[in-house]
Amino acid sequence: MTDSNPGSAKPTLKTLPGDDVRQILWRYSDRYDLQMVVQAARSVARGLVARLVAEGARHTHEWTPDKQRLLEAMDEAGITAVAIDPEHGGYIPGPKNLALALVAFELSWVDAGAATASLAGNLALAPIHERGTPEQVAKYMGGAVPAAPGEDRRTLRGAFALTEPIPYVGVDTNTMAGRVRVAEWKEGEEPILHVDKRGRFITNAAFANFACAAVASDDPRIKGSCMVILEDTDEGVWDPGSPTLKLVHQLSATNDPIYSLKVPASRIIGGYTVQDGVIVPNYSHAEVIEAVFRRTRVTVGLMTAAKLLSAVEPVIRYHRQRFRGGGQLQPGSPRYELGIQQREDALHRLIDVWATGEAAASLGFYTARLFDEFDPLEREKDRLFAERGIKGARAQLKAFAAVKDAALEFIRLEHLPADRRDAARYEELLNDTLVQFVVKDALSQVFCPATKLWNTGVGANMMREAVSLMGGYGITEDCPGFLGQKWMDAQLEATYEGPEAVQRRQLTVTMVNDLFLAQFRHWIRQMRQIAAKKPGTGACTLATAMELWLWTIGYLQKAKDANGETLYHGQRQGVAFPMADALSWLLASRQQILDVLELEEKGGDNPALADGFEGTVAFLTDLCHVMAARASGEVGRIVAELVYGYLRHPSWDGDCDSCFRASELEAVASVVPGFDSSPLEVIQDDDTHADKAGPCVRFPGMERFRELRLKLDGCLTGARLAKDRAAAALTEVMIPEALDYPR
């Protein structure tokens, strides 16, 4: 029998994973442009951003001249232009989801408020980038590129104005107080609109000189809703409003602005047509938002991932040095060298933080890459639909439904070995834009909310663990790595751009899409295959947990509760939401395993990694195992509650098919000797019974579920040994003498 958990002779982690390792894990080792963007963002984060935090810039809600320097530093380092296409003055060609994700990750390593300041500028441009007319794109994308020295123009800085004061808050609101009406419409001329919008919690509003505002029609001559570009030079009121008194992300400017402006109708994002004397925007505000948030939420998820990974080094250093300097300890003694690292609990908890950070980063960066693949498909799909005259949501859905079978066929072929599939048919489907679009769309509709939900929600909880590992120091302002601030910041990340409930609601719909589930089924087999070659990854454990989740989602979709109510539907959030959580755990763990396999495969080619490569891979593999076990445990707990929890517990006075009267039992035992020693429920002839709620549960039809649950428990074998090894590695890994940013 192969030992999947070899002993301590295994090579271990020598140094903290550096850029060479990360570039392979997150798949940008061949992208020099991205590697440079990472270094540029890092220099701003660990330079100016860290100094601002250390000097207390987070203590003010106002946008100060010091904070303004952040924008200049980001302009200077090329960060502002990352989102811009080269034809408009940017320098990264093609989709930029991974590039923006890396920038957000690097900035958040020190302070997520700074990342939000950068992100919010991109968010303001995103509606224009995704849905704007060519003129709008040219003007605003080009204008957002920082002015070159000697160039006489102001740099355009935007705000995304969606959220409104209570009661109309939240990113998915269908009702808005923001209004647009026709102010003036002269014969043969462009209509002039009047826009009234009060925003709440609008990032960048303090310094923005344009805003993309979501508004609803307040005029029969305008149909529905739309997004409109407002400028600070437009006629009317442009009031940046008062700063939001937020407790977190204070390096971003968040205000409650008031806009009441006259703008030409050409500012409607995506343009409009005039039908029977009515202005019909080409895109409703919801259509614009959907295109925007499905991308930008990923970067938010990565902001929390960066926090977790950034906590590792300061915690190790604090633990090791905890007892030094007291005068009585001698260098070389275990207490001097290891400090708190002598305690298993401290090591194990840090391993949990680290493993969560790795999984969150793997999930987030995968999703960013997925959108990089998806973007060109979406544009090509839009082009095809325009060419074929397919307009409106219903017509599009019909077109997607028409290729569903072909998409399922593609998924089946995709997961067959190349020599066993119909190569011509596979190639045909691979080159079919619509097929590829629906396959990738099914993934992106799950991975985006899963990233936002899991990374920020679980990440925020895990940041609390990281803070606790620093003792009282953790909640001081001068805690190395600013861990206390990061913990609080994580809560905002779990909230803005769609709080957790919004993500769960989206997953409720998208995770039961046949095209997603078809891919998910193949992933179970994939995990088993990985486990056969790399048993130490925890892939087998995860595969069992995935099977259990899949069985449960199928069951919940068909089953009813004890009251005859349908279990799985949009409004039954007590059922659907936990399943969304469970799925997110599985996806995060799976991506982490896939990334480590990539490292193992590709890392050997990099001579810079040669020395400690085996140890690095072994350690990261152990982290995978730890996370797979944790994810599987979560899934087991959730599905057991859902499957059993909606059934009525059998009662002694109800119809109990496993209950016997004592006298009956005696009679049967006289014919079938030993029958009375079976584990049966017995009701005495005087109606007394064992002290418990009722006969123990036995539900027919649940055999497979029980089998999987039992199997999953056994699959956890070795997970704690992996954790022990990883913990031991923490005591040996070499770390720098100090953090590379001030505190």
Partner 1 sequence: MSNGYHIVVCGSLVPDPLQALEPVTTPDGPALKNESMLPSVLDPWAAHALYEAAHLAKTVPGSKVWLVSLGPKAKLQQLMMTVAQKAPFEFVAVDGSASGFTDSFETAQALAKAIESIAGLDRQRLLLFGGCSSASRDAGTTVGMVGALLGIEEQFLAVDEIVPQEDGSFRVKERVEGAQYLVSECAGAPAVLAWATGNLPEPPNNPQVGMTNMRTIMPALAKAQPAGNLRGSLRFESVETPTQRRETRVVKDAGIDEIARELADWIRG
> Rule CB under 8 A: which residues touch partner 1?
14-15, 18-20, 32-33, 35-40, 43-44, 47, 51, 73, 76-78, 81-82, 91, 606-612, 734-743
In angstroms, what is the minimal distance from the CB of 65 to partner 1?
17
In angstroms, what is the minimal distance from the CB of 76 to partner 1?
5
In angstroms, what is the minimal distance from the CB of 87 to partner 1?
15
In angstroms, what is the minimal distance from the CB of 39 to partner 1?
4
Tokens of 315: 């915690």
In angstroms, what is the minimal distance from the CB of 23 to partner 1?
9
102 and 34 in contact (C-beta within 8 Å)? yes
Instruction: Write the DSSP symbol of residue 38.
Output: H
Cα 66-67-70 angle, rounded to 5 deg: 105
Nearer to partner 1 (CB atom), residue 76 or residue 231: 76
Nearer to partner 1 (CB atom), residue 55 or residue 685: 55
In angstroms, what is the minimal distance from the CB of 159 to partner 1?
25
Number of helices (H) and strands (E), helices first, in the chain? 24, 12
Burial environment of residue 121 by CB neighbours within 10 A (0 to 12, 13 to 18, 19 or more): buried
Nearer to partner 1 (CB atom), residue 179 or residue 743: 743
Q: What is the CA radius of gyration of the chain?
A: 29
In angstroms, what is the minimal distance from the CB of 467 to partner 1?
21
In angstroms, what is the minimal distance from the CB of 302 to partner 1?
19
Nearer to partner 1 (CB atom), residue 321 or residue 684: 321
Burial environment of residue 393 by CB neighbours within 10 A (0 to 12, 13 to 18, 19 or more): exposed
277 alpha-carbon distance from chain centroid? 44
44 and 37 in contact (C-beta within 8 Å)? no
In angstroms, what is the minimal distance from the CB of 326 to partner 1?
14
Q: Is 240 helix (H, G, I), strand (E, B) or coil?
A: strand
Burial environment of residue 118 by CB neighbours within 10 A (0 to 12, 13 to 18, 19 or more): buried
Whole-number Cα distances in Å, 492 to 113, 210, 251, 337, 496: 10, 24, 13, 37, 6
Nearer to partner 1 (CB atom), residue 77 or residue 112: 77
Give the residue among 656, 647, 654 at the shortest CA–CA distance from 681: 656
Nearer to partner 1 (CB atom), residue 34 or residue 502: 34
Q: Pick left, alpha or beta for residue 48 (phi over 0 → left; psi -120 to 50 → alpha; otherwise beta).
A: alpha
Amino acid at position 407, single letter: A
Nearer to partner 1 (CB atom), residue 240 or residue 314: 314
Beta bridge partners of 280: 273
Beta bridge partners of 615: none
In angstroms, what is the minimal distance from the CB of 88 to partner 1?
14
Nearer to partner 1 (CB atom), residue 18 or residue 554: 18
Q: What is the DSSP string of 71-110?
A: HHHHHHTT-GGGGS-GGGT-S--S--HHHHHHHHHHHHTT
Nearby residues of 124 by Cβ (< 8 Å), 6 or more positions away: 157, 158, 159, 160, 204, 208, 210, 211, 212
Compute the distance between CA of residue 227 and CA of residue 214 in angstroms, rounded to an integer. 4
Nearer to partner 1 (CB atom), residue 478 or residue 655: 478
Nearer to partner 1 (CB atom), residue 143 or residue 480: 480
In angstroms, what is the minimal distance from the CB of 265 to partner 1?
37
Compute the distance between CA of residue 591 and CA of residue 355 in angstroms, rounded to an integer. 12
Nearer to partner 1 (CB atom), residue 69 or residue 335: 69
695 and 679 in contact (C-beta within 8 Å)? no
Nearer to partner 1 (CB atom), residue 81 or residue 377: 81
Residue identified by tokens 């529905």 is 224
Nearer to partner 1 (CB atom), residue 372 or residue 465: 372
In angstroms, what is the minimal distance from the CB of 38 to partner 1?
7
Compute the distance between CA of residue 83 and CA of residue 98 in angstroms, rounded to an integer. 11
In angstroms, what is the minimal distance from the CB of 42 to partner 1?
8
Peptide bond into 134 cis (omega under 30): no
Give the residue among 604, 737, 743 at the shortest CA–CA distance from 320: 737
31 and 39 in contact (C-beta within 8 Å)? no
Nearer to partner 1 (CB atom), residue 40 or residue 71: 40
In angstroms, what is the minimal distance from the CB of 446 to partner 1?
32
